[in-house]
Amino acid sequence: MIFALDPIKQFEIHKMGPTLKIGNFDLSFTNASLMMLVTVGLVVLWLLLSTNKRSLVPTRSQSVAEVTYEFVADMIRSASGKDGLKFFPFVFTLFIFILFANLLGMIPFFFTTTSHIIVTFTLAMMVMTLVIGYGVFKNGFGFLKIFWPSGIPVVILPFVSLLEIISFFSRPISLSVRLWANMLAGHILLKLFAGFSIMMVTAFGMFPGLLGALIPFTLTLALTPLEFLVAFVQAYVFALLTCVYLSDALHPGHH
């Protein structure tokens, strides 16, 4: 009963094997590690099954794979230009991994890896490392143009540049917190309403309890498809913002 009503218990990380430590770092295999492996495995399996029998008249699975491919490619072209397509494998991998991780977290008794800030922050830092690394590699000191916008009056340019610097280095925080907070809040709400339904039945008996559970049960049903939509939207927003940030590395003078 405690498990059913505790909305936080679903986010607990448990070790699944012997403790493995290197210095002060605990590298033990956990349920979070397992779900990330399951996510990667399902993505690979889906892509293999969708593309192993390519035909001019695509099957449903092949159509979904092709639509997903074009969806991500169009997103990159619109946000970063044609030059951004060189980063297609990275953006596509990010989008699919986050989407599958979000959707798998909707399955009862599964673990939602994107509901942990360390996971989303790691993904965000991967994005920013690529942006800064490629920006400096391609443009040298010209990459600093993103902090010195053109067309700004000289009087306020230092203040605008300071804001640009703060905005740039806060990107990994906003990128990771947005995904983490949305997945965490949505799952807590679902767990709370579902727990209220169970609590009503156990506290007041079958018939009056069912009447009392009607409202939270209805809210649970209503929130479930909304949470699936949020799972897709958050993967899309993360990938889209990645494309926007990569555009700064590709075209710092157009910032």
Per residue, the 3-state secondary structure of the chain, as one string, reads CHHHHCCCHHHCCCECCCCCEECCEECCCEHHHHHHHHHHHHHHHHHHHHHCCCCCCCCHHHHHHHHHHHHHHHHHHHHHCHHHHHHHHHHHHHHHHHHHHHHHCCCCCCCCHHHCHHHHHHHHHHHHHHHHHHHHHHHHHHHHHHHCCCCCCCCCHHHHHHHHHHHHHCHHHHHHHHHHHHHHHHHHHHHHHHHHHHHHHHHHCHHHHHHHHHHHHHHHHHHHHHHHHHHHHHHHHHHHHHHHHHHHHHCHHHC
CA angle 203, 105, 195 (to 5 degrees): 5
For residues 223-238, give the mean pLDDT: 92
**pTM of the prediction?**
0.86
Q: Which of 224, 225, 237 is nearest to 180 (CA)?
A: 237
**72 compared with 219, residue with greater pLDDT:** 72
Who contacts 221 (Cβ-Cβ below 8 Å, separation ≥6)? none
Q: With 0-12 CB in 10 A as exposed, 13-18 as middle and 19+ as buried, what is 153?
A: exposed
Cβ(40)–Cβ(33) below 8 Å: no
> According to the model, what pLDDT value does residue 21 have?
81
User: Using CA atoms, how far apart are residues 29 and 145, in angstroms rounded to an integer?
Assistant: 43
Q: Which of 185, 170, 167, 163 is nearest to 231 (CA)?
A: 185
Q: How confident is the model at residue 185 (pLDDT cuts 50, 70, 90)?
A: confident
Q: How confident is the model at residue 254 (pLDDT cuts 50, 70, 90)?
A: low
Which residue in the block uniquely carries the two structure tokens 């913002």?
241
- 138-180 tens-digit pLDDT: 888 888 888 887 777 778 888 888 988 899 999 999 999 999 9
Single-letter residue type at 65: A
Q: How confident is the model at residue 212 (pLDDT cuts 50, 70, 90)?
A: low
> According to the model, what pLDDT value does residue 143 have?
83
